[in-house]
Amino acid sequence: LGKKEDLAAHIRAIKRAWEEMEPGRAERASLSRIRYLEQQAEKLESKPELDKTDKETGTSTVERSRPSTQGSLTQGK
């Protein structure tokens, strides 16, 4: 536990030194993280649904982004 506490104290000291050298750094970093997370959330929301269930038959189909290679693997035998 002592090493973890020492590491945490060391990291806090580094962050304080950065903030003293460059005021506003922590706030800019926080805003940058928020923007990044929002972009990632938008990407997830805009992706097409990969697993769709046919409501009439109850069967599930998986859409593929590239053609299946199973046919080409069995043809070579």
Per-residue pLDDT, 47 = 77
Q: Where are the domains of the chain?
A: 1-46
Buried b (16+ CB within 10 A) or exposed e, 32-71: eeeeeeeeeeeeeeeeeeeeeeeeeeeeeeeeeeeeeeee
| Token pair for 21 | 């050298």
> How far is it, in rounded angstroms, from Cα 2 to Cα 40?
37
Beta bridge partners of 53: 60
Q: What is the pLDDT of residues 25-72, one digit of tens each?
A: 999 999 999 999 999 999 998 876 655 555 555 555 555 455 555 544
Q: What is the pLDDT of residues 9-21, one digit of tens each?
A: 999 999 999 999 9
The pTM for the full model equals 0.46
